[in-house]
Each structure stands twice: as C-alpha cells, then as structure tokens.
Amino acid sequence: MTTAPPEWLPGSMRSPLDDKLGIEVVDFDPDRLVATMPVAGNEQPFGLLHGGATCALVETIGSVAAAVGAGPGKQVVGIELNASYLRAATSGTVTAVCTPVRRGRTLSTFLIEVTDDAGRTTATARLTCMTLTDRQ
C-alpha cells in the first residue's frame, strides 16, 4: 500500500459483501485508488468471473473514492453504474484502478479499469456517486 486510508474513514469502508467476495482496497491515493479481488469463488457457472462480482468490485472502489473525496462526516451513495466487459478472467486476481473524472459538492464521477494478472483489461466502468448531508 502506497497511500494509507485516512484515519477518519470508518473501517476502511469494508462491507460484508466485500468480505464475501474477497475485495481488498490496497491503495487509498485520492487520485488513483486501487482494489483487488480473487476470481476463485466469484465465477459464474461457465468458470468466468461473474459480471455481478465485477460490478461489486467497481462499486466498492468507486464508493471509497467518493467517500475519500467527500471528507469526514459525509455519506456517499452510488446513483449510476455503467460497466462494459471486454475480456473474461478465469483465474488469479483482478485489479480495479479508480480515477476521478469530476469531484463536486454533491456528485462525483469515477472511471474504473479492471485488469487481470497479465495486465489485460477485463472491464471498464463509470460510477457516479452522490454525497449526502453530514452523518449524525
């Protein structure tokens, strides 16, 4: 990990679904967040990485990026996700790299590229998140 999570980020933003899928955020750089997920255990019946698992990975890293950008005390929610699958992943680990397109007061948009162990792009996605009022 080159950039550690901010101290104020609750539990590094881990969810029970992240635990089930094996999603790990490995770099919290606000301009380039990175997360990984194993293919094993996340396949569809034909042995390929499940598209829903890919979307969960993308939603996780994009939501963490939105939370980091929003700052302490804010809550973020995804409001739009668009994903394109370009190549099947059948083994190893996939890596998602999330970069901001726009960080606004209420809306933030991120581009996420998912690659396999060989560095080949398996999916691309765009996630837009809304920042809600301060948490109570």
Task: Return the pLDDT at 9.
Answer: 85
Q: Which of 95, 104, 87, 75 is nearest to 33 (CA)?
A: 95
- 12, 38, 87, 122, 123 from 90: Cα distances, Å: 28, 10, 10, 10, 13
Could you give the residue numbers annotated as active site? 59
pTM comes to 0.94
pLDDT, tens digit (0-9, with 9 covering 90-100), for 7-30: 888 776 789 999 999 999 999 999
Residue ranges of domains in the chain, CATH in brackets: 17-134 (3.10.129.10)
pLDDT, tens digit (0-9, with 9 covering 90-100), for 30-53: 999 999 999 999 999 999 999 999
Q: pLDDT class for 62, splitting at 50, 70, 90? A: very high
pLDDT, tens digit (0-9, with 9 covering 90-100), for 87-136: 999 999 999 999 999 999 999 999 999 999 999 999 999 999 999 976 54
**Strand order across the beta sheet in which 24-27 lies:** 24-27, 33-38, 93-103, 107-115, 121-134, 74-85
The amino acid sitting at 37 is: M
